[in-house]
Structure 1
Amino acid sequence: MSPLHALLNRASLACCGLVLALTLRAEAPATQAPANTPPAELKPTALVLLWHHQAQFAGYYMALERGFYRREGLDVTLRRGGPDVRPADELARGRTEFCVAMLASALERRANGRPLVLLSQIVNRSNFSLVAWKRPPSEPSTTIKELSDLDGHPVSIWEADLRLPYLACFDVQKIEPDILPQYYALSLFFHHGVDACAVMRYNEYHRLIQHGVHPDDIVIFNLWEHGVTLPEDGLYTLERTWQEQPEKCAAFVKASLEGWRYARAHPEETLDVVMRYVEQDNLPTNRPHMRWMLGEILDSIFPAENSPWSLGKLSPQAFAETLKLIKRHSSLPIEPTFEEFTTPEARHVAP
């Protein structure tokens, strides 16, 4: 081969290499994580949510969307919950490493021999509420103004894990409503079959408004304002997982909390992502409802000034109060201690 041919071949190869490099760069998906490059080896893991996809879980969506989990070395799969999925049971059976669960439910399972541990208390302000008709169908001549006015009136409340807060509230208020079972629809209340019903402030209350119930016709009683301050959603794992992989657990919590902070700072972008999840699952909801839910859930996660809780932490007082309420309405074979049930990073230390 002549020197001229060799020179031309080298130039041709260099040009092809440049074209290939530019092509690969153009096709490579841009990372959504801020600045930091994710580790080459990601550890696979999964989080089971407490319910169907909705803004209640926006922080986890954003931690995944923005690459916060990957930045911490985690390849996270989010799995929906729902009436057919019990997250704490999925965790106990080894089908996931992390789950979202209510504090009271997790405590009961721990007391019954399932070694759940709290990694982070996400929702500290309760969202359990009661909604009542101001003019109750059972006695239209009367008016419901105070929670005590529901004494003797037909009231529907949820069953199983969601029943405890309402029974505790009735105890605190020293009232005895005529309790009826409530399932996943609000039709009994909507059609005036009961005088009051259980709602989550971030969800069913707003759904009633969207379905035509006028706010002036009802009154809402937030349980946290009537003596029942049960923390709700927390991040859990098995005790064995935390003992064997503490760095992985810490990384998961760090990225999750960063996702919640991002959701708070970028609500409209977060709603875009939330709506993508709900539309993929064909869930019957809408953006205004998800906006309401996001606002309410953020208010129950991030403490206002002088609030008695801190982000991601559970206080010994809230733990003790929850345990007390559980014991009042069910028997516990074992009584977990605060230190057994929580990781050091999940404990609120009073200043």
Structure 2
Amino acid sequence: MVLRRLVLAALLAVFLGQSPENADAQLKQAVFIPQWVPQAQFAGYYFALEKGIYRKHGIDLEILSGGPHNSSLDRLKDGKADFATLWLSTAIQARAEGLNVVNIAQILPRSALMLVAKKSSGILTPWDLNGKKVGLWPSVFQVQPKAFFKRYDLNVVIVPQSFSVNLFLRDGVDVASAMWYNEYHTILSAGYNPEELTTFFFHEHGLNFPEEGIYVLEERLKKDPELCRAFVSASLEGWIAAFADPEEALKMVMKNLKREYIPATRVHQRWMLERMKDLILTERKTIDTKLLSKDYYRVATSLHSSGLIETVPEYASFYKDLIADGTR
């Protein structure tokens, strides 16, 4: 009788240990914020959240909505977020200014920033930009274009550009800044055919600046490296799953944008998701999260020569490879 009671007690303990309530208690809580609103640019993270992938990796995750009024860098700095996406140039600048951000996964290995011109304006080659009015976004968004102008010895008229291409569409500037996955499609949607446009992708001119990566504060990484590794693994799994099921991913994106009262079309979000797939996946259909030292120093030295940072942070302290083989 005593033996039976002991066996029953052991079985009950095992059952309770596997209960949903107990499983939830074992999850680690974390907060993530992308650098912009919940558009298809970040579909992989939202897909991983809604499909339970983060929970499968032991994380009870909350995603904050980023954007112009809720900076992902600020939320990382004030401790309201554990993980954030940042552009490499933004993160290097923050590290140089004393904030110990660490890159734990480089999601976009190449730049999607570009310049767009109308062929009807006579711009076909870089040298045709001489004397033209070029719309540029502020701060770190100007580093690549200015390096491009310097490379081709160009003298252009820089015009401040808002996060819109209306000035370009109304011929207020000859050239506009654009992201391949975003504003470029807006220009196409306004009625222009690709054959009517001249595009300058900086990565095709020796000026590749990797963009979005996953960042964490050094203190958080040291405190719980396993949580950081689990977050990266779950995020990569989310991206792979989103690319494999784009209709479901788009459904989630549109739902999140509607929740934030952000007007958007499914056509534009589809373009964005497809371009993110082009940018993120390797030829082997995997995701390489390595930040190459040559890419890092290309961006850092450009920031330094532009006067945006006084010293170049050490690559070894800035980047930590949490995925040993670099692919998932």
Report how far residue 40 of structure 1 moved: 4.2
> SS where residue 188 of structure 2 aligns?
helix
Unpaired stretches in structure 2, ≥5 consecutive residues: 1-19
Report how far residue 158 of structure 1 moved: 0.4
Q: Distance in 1 between matches of 2:228 and 2:256?
A: 25
Unpaired stretches in structure 1, ≥5 consecutive residues: 1-30, 32-36, 137-142
Within the candidate set 227, 230, 244, 1:265 is matched to: 244
Residue 120 (str. 1) matches residue 105 (str. 2): yes
In structure 1, the partner of 2:16 is none
Report how far residue 162 of structure 1 moved: 1.8
- Do the aligned partners of 1:49 and 1:81 also contact (CA within 8 Å) in 2? yes
> SS where residue 145 of structure 1 aligns?
coil
In structure 1, the partner of 2:301 is 324
Report how far residue 212 of structure 1 moved: 2.3
Within the candidate set 38, 43, 51, 1:53 is matched to: 38
Moved over 3 A (4+): 37-40, 346-349
TM-score, length of structure 1 as denominator length: 0.83
Report how far residue 346 of structure 1 moved: 6.2
Within the candidate set 194, 202, 209, 1:215 is matched to: 194
1:291-326 CA distance string (max 9 Å, x none): 110111111111226x9x961111111111111111
Q: Distance in 2 between matches of 1:167 and 1:213?
A: 26
In structure 1, the partner of 2:58 is 73
Report how far residue 348 of structure 1 moved: 8.0
Residue 44 (str. 1) matches residue 21 (str. 2): no
Q: Distance in 2 between matches of 1:323 and 1:348?
A: 25
In structure 1, the partner of 2:68 is 83
In structure 1, the partner of 2:164 is 185
> SS where residue 335 of structure 1 aligns?
coil
- Do the aligned partners of 2:304 and 2:310 also contact (CA within 8 Å) in 1? no
Q: Distance in 2 between matches of 1:285 and 1:319?
A: 34
- Do the aligned partners of 2:304 and 2:311 also contact (CA within 8 Å) in 1? no
Q: Distance in 2 between matches of 1:346 and 1:101?
A: 19
In structure 1, the partner of 2:119 is 134
Within the candidate set 229, 252, 270, 2:208 is matched to: 229
Within the candidate set 233, 248, 253, 1:254 is matched to: 233
Identity percentage over the alignment? 35
Residue 102 (str. 1) matches residue 102 (str. 2): no
- Do the aligned partners of 1:133 and 1:144 also contact (CA within 8 Å) in 2? yes
Work out which of the two has the higher radius of gyration on C-alpha atoms and give 1 or 2: 1
Aligned residue pairs, count: 306
Q: Distance in 1 between matches of 2:178 and 2:252?
A: 25
In structure 2, the partner of 1:304 is 283
1:324-347 CA distance string (max 9 Å, x none): 111110153442111100113268
In structure 1, the partner of 2:322 is 345
TM-score, length of structure 2 as denominator length: 0.88
